[in-house]
Amino acid sequence: MFIFDDFDKNNNFSIKLMMWVKNVKKINFKTNSPYEILIDTNLMRTSGDHIKKISSARQVLIITDDVVNELYSGDVTDSLIESGFEVFLFTLTHGESSKTLQSVERIYSFLIKNKFTRSDLIIALGGGIVGDIAGFVAATYMRGIDLVQIPTTLLAQIDSAIGGKNGVNLAHGKNLIGTFYQPKLVLIDIGVLSTLPKQSLSDGMAEAIKYGLIRSESLFNMIKNRELDDILTDLIFECISIKQELVERDELEQGERKLLNFGHTLGHAIEKFYNFSKYTHGQAVAIGMACTVRSGENLAITKSGTYEELTSVLRKYNLPCEIDCDMDKLAEIAKIDKKATGEFFDIVLIKSIGSGFVKRIKKDDLKKYIGG
């Protein structure tokens, strides 16, 4: 085993979530290069067996962060070694500040130094940040090396680890550099959610609520009316199914896939405005969704009462609904976004719960749609 550490040891995992699992699920994701998503418990310990079936790599690089490393690298590494892989580990400092081209370059150097070829494999073991960086490295190292995603947060399991988006931040904004590059396999071990801090679960719930708002009133109602412990497996499956439908029809985000960005236009601007330190991604998206729904009601686009319903669900999951910040500044930051095309901007709005749509607006009108 070859290890590269690059982190501060500042681990604060404590909250235990009680849950039981009803049944194991498998999803066949039919993108241009199709792959399987397995949802189960104990997938960390059996990861080698599953990966062996889809890869003939000799060397495997696990990219992770310092927090996840302490918890799960051991199980995954042991399993990979048992399956005959030579395993390398690259550990990033946890947090958004690692999501840079500098991190990417350090990983490229590590790969080169250890003679990784295009037939080898990268595993993203972690949350959305690790998945985005590892995905970008895999997509670009020698024009593409196979990737397996093993997401360890709810947010990554239901959203960022599936569908093939990756990226890093620039000083100008979030996720401005990236590619679409599908993994060869996604292993969703729901057992790991029992080690997540409450805040991390809340962040995931922001994305789950998003899925309900844009596509499924029944999912939204399940989230609203039932306890998370009882619905977790179904919730993960439902969210992935919605993403699957949108991504399979629009892999490169030319149309419908844009719906998945609901709340993210303002959300990304909030994260950037506070230098990724005041609000987590989930919190920023929660505020983004609430402000956009409130504006939608004011503009008579969104059914009245939706804001009230949304904010009560956001509160249930300990997510913020409001922000006290200069909206002109946020709107200016929000305009530097991949959803901008020339003078126009494709914004996602909600007609009613379960019914999102994309509207092309003038860039200068952005503020009035995102809470201005």
> Which residues make up the interface to ligand GLY (CB under 6 A)?
159-160, 163, 165, 257, 260
Burial of 113 (0-12, 13-18, 19+ CB in 10 A): exposed
Torsion angle in degrees (nearest 10) through CA of 118, 45, 168, 102: -70
Smaller CB separation from ligand GLY, 79 or 258: 258
Strand stretches in the chain, DSSP E? 2-5, 25-29, 35-40, 59-65, 86-92, 121-126, 146-151, 168-170, 173-177, 185-189, 340-341, 344-352, 355-362
DSSP 4-43: EE-------------------EEEEE-SSS-EEEEEESSH
Instruction: Order across the sheet with 340-341: list the strands.
Output: 340-341, 344-352, 355-362
Smaller CB separation from ligand GLY, 260 or 334: 260
Smaller CB separation from ligand GLY, 173 or 372: 173
Instruction: In angstroms, give the least distance from the CB of 163 to ligand GLY.
Output: 4
What CA–CA distance (Å, rounded) separates 306 from 279?
24
Instruction: In angstroms, give the least distance from the CB of 260 to ligand GLY.
Output: 4
Helices within 226-257 (DSSP H only):
228-249
- Assess contact for 305 and 333: CB atoms under 8 A: no
Smaller CB separation from ligand GLY, 63 or 162: 162
- Here the tokens at position 293 are 């729904």
172 residue type, one letter: H
Instruction: In angstroms, give the least distance from the CB of 348 to ligand GLY.
Output: 11
Instruction: In angstroms, give the least distance from the CB of 179 to ligand GLY.
Output: 12
Instruction: In angstroms, give the least distance from the CB of 2 to ligand GLY.
Output: 32
Q: Closest-CB residue for ligand GLY?
A: 260
Smaller CB separation from ligand GLY, 76 or 208: 208
Instruction: In angstroms, give the least distance from the CB of 240 to ligand GLY.
Output: 11
Residue with tokens 């080698």: 48
Instruction: In angstroms, give the least distance from the CB of 12 to ligand GLY.
Output: 26
Smaller CB separation from ligand GLY, 25 or 264: 264
Smaller CB separation from ligand GLY, 6 or 250: 250
- Write the CA distances from 186 to 34, 107, 366, integer angstroms: 11, 21, 36
Smaller CB separation from ligand GLY, 165 or 294: 165
196 residue type, one letter: L
Q: How many beta carbons lie within 10 A of that of residue 321, not counting itself?
A: 18
Instruction: In angstroms, give the least distance from the CB of 233 to ligand GLY.
Output: 21
